[in-house]
Amino acid sequence: MDNFIKSLGDILKYTFTTAGTIAVFLVLLVLDFGFWPSLIISLIIGGFMFFKKEPQKSSKTKVQKLKRLTPEKEAFYRSQGLSKDEMKFFRETMQSAKINILELEQNMRKSTKLAAIERRNNTLRLAKALFKEISQEPHRLHDVDKFLYVHLPSLKDLTAKYIEVDNHEVKHKSTFDVLEESANTIDGMCNLIAEDYVSFKSDDIEDIELEIELAKKTITRDNDTTNEINNEEL
């Protein structure tokens, strides 16, 4: 009994201190699931993630060592009003975002279900386009806090967990239920990425839902430089 109470306490602590599960709860509320259903679903997903997490690995994205800052790029940052410390912070933040986007892209390609969700929302193109927009306006980094620190990393983590569960050789009804709920949550979070893009691009949004759907459908589809961020200089 003591072990059960301890495990339950650990699950509750994990659920309400992990960005991914907090984001799930908030997304479900936004999607009008109701407070208690959202809480229960978040606890189920939190419990699943708690028992499946690997204790030896950190869930945080490993930031690769940044390349040396070129004089041209430093001059650009200075023209944007960034100090030395602000340049370092911006470059590290964007490097982390780049890795999250690339890992999200890999995850989306590993599942037909996730690939369908991604195509419907045009998530990767929007995320990469937003990444490039931020790179050109580093002084607006604070405008994309939710995208950089909540929506993007949470979506990456949720898709990784979805793939992990989907790859189980034996699946029970509860497994399929979790997969379905996770897919719905991922779909909702993809919509938040579109909202992040629209919010950054639009100063005055009269109909955000219309703008989001428009962004999903019309973001450049044939411009490779928009879609690739691997070689983006930071």
Q: Mark 40-70 as b/e (b = at least 16 C-beta within 10 Å).
A: ebbbbbbbbbbeeeeeeeeeebeeeeeeeee
Structure-token pair, residue 228: 């690739």
The top-scoring range by mean pLDDT among 74-83, 204-213, 223-232 is 74-83
Cβ atoms of 162 and 114 closer than 8 Å: yes
The top-scoring range by mean pLDDT among 5-9, 49-53, 123-127, 214-218 is 123-127
Cβ atoms of 168 and 175 closer than 8 Å: yes
pLDDT given at position 6: 46
**Per-residue model confidence as pLDDT tens digits over 111-124:** 999 999 999 999 99
Distances (CA, A) of 10 to 15, 24, 43, 135, 207: 8, 18, 11, 39, 42
Total length of the chain: 234
pLDDT given at position 201: 83
pLDDT given at position 19: 64
Work out the mean pLDDT of the chain and round it to a whole number: 80
* 223, pLDDT greater than 50: no
Alpha helices in 80-172 (DSSP H): 84-109, 112-121, 123-136, 145-146, 152-166
* 85, pLDDT greater than 90: yes
Q: What percent of the chain has pLDDT over 90?
A: 48
Environment class of 163 (CB within 10 Å of its CB; exposed 0-12, middle 13-18, buried 19+) = middle
* 60, pLDDT greater than 70: no
Structure-token pair, residue 198: 């629209």
Cβ atoms of 151 and 23 closer than 8 Å: yes
pLDDT band at 3 (very low <50, low <70, confident <90, very high): very low
pLDDT band at 222 (very low <50, low <70, confident <90, very high): very low
**Residue 123 CB neighbour total at 10 angstroms:** 29
CA gap 65, 68 in Å, rounded: 9
**Per-residue model confidence as pLDDT tens digits over 128-178:** 999 999 999 999 999 999 999 999 999 999 999 999 988 887 778 888 888
The one-character DSSP state at 103 is H
Q: Model's pTM, two decimal places? A: 0.66
Structure-token pair, residue 214: 């428009």
Secondary structure (DSSP) of 196-225? HHHHHH-SS-S-HHHHHHHHHHHS-SS-HH
Cβ atoms of 185 and 28 closer than 8 Å: yes
